[in-house]
Amino acid sequence: MQKYSKQTRLLLAVDCIIFGFDGETLKILLIKRDFEPEKGNWSLMGGFVQANESVDQAANRVLTQLTNLQGVYLEQLYTFGNTKRDPLERTVSVSYFALIDINKYEAQLSKDYHADWFPLKKVPKLIFDQQDMVEAAKKRIRYKAALHPILFELLPEKFTLPQLQVLYESVFNTSIDKRNFSKRVLATGLLIKLDDKDKTGSKRGAFYYQLNKQNYYTKFQSFINILPNPDTLQV
């Protein structure tokens, strides 16, 4: 089967940076690695690309393995290819980031995989060059969210404006005027106001909204400005 003779074959892996939002902070899902090297240390969920699957399929497989979720937002991030990144054997890794609704993630899975959620500011030491992968993912999510409405992927079907605002404030580590925020968000035409309210956060309750899926998909690739001063952002 080796038709290009004399060329080096090497291991190809995928690693997933899985983001979730618990209503307060942005977190990533890590597992305790269960094989050598670095067995027992915190790691991204990953795996080797198999002969019969595409790289995208490998990433999806690995993501579904850990989360049991289908149809999740998953985007290729960057390919890390230093020769020494895995000390055991040359392995190139294609990193992906995923945005999931943390409520759909079943806690039981964390027990099976010895997984846990970590706030971005409290990510433990990771194996190999995975710290770099997480940094790249943090940068990418901020960059992309400044221009496109990806953060909705982190929220449940129904969400309130205050929840959305906390999400943006948390991702961009800033505070936003709620009057301007609601004006900007509603001006996108991406939201549909529902009749019921979320009463968990306040006495008065906040109206639920849901995504206008049609507008969401058609406008997804355009530049959408929800953030104030996106130009001052170092991305």
Binding site for a copy of itself (CB under 8 A): 1-4, 7-12, 48-56, 58, 76, 78-83, 88-92, 94, 146-147, 221-225, 230-235
Partner from DNA, a copy of itself, none binding residue 197, C-beta < 5-8 Å depending on class? DNA
Q: Which stretch binds DNA (CB under 7 A): 8-16, 64-72, 98-106, 198-206?
A: 198-206
Asked whether position 47 contacts DNA by CB under 7 A, the answer is no
182 binds, among DNA, a copy of itself, none (CB under 5 to 8 A by kind): DNA
- Cα separation, 213 vs 204, whole angstroms: 28
Residue pair 178/184 in contact (Cβ under 8 Å)? The answer is: no
The answer to whether the beta carbons of residues 146 and 230 sit under 8 Å apart is yes
Please enumerate in sequence order all residues whose Cβ is within 8 A of that of 222, keeping only pairs 6 or more positions apart, or say none: 148
CB of 158 to DNA, least distance (A): 12
Provide CB contacts within 8 A for 154, sequence distance 6+.
Answer: 19, 20, 21, 26, 99, 100, 101, 102, 167
State yes or no: residue 180 binds DNA (CB under 7 A). yes
Q: What six digits make up the tokens of 141? A: 């999510």
Residue 180 interaction partner, one of a copy of itself, DNA, none, beta carbon < 5-8 Å per kind:
DNA
Residue closer to DNA by CB (options 193, 213) is 193
Q: Does 151 bind DNA (CB under 7 A)?
A: no
Q: Which residue, chain included where needed, has tokens 């049609």?
A: 214
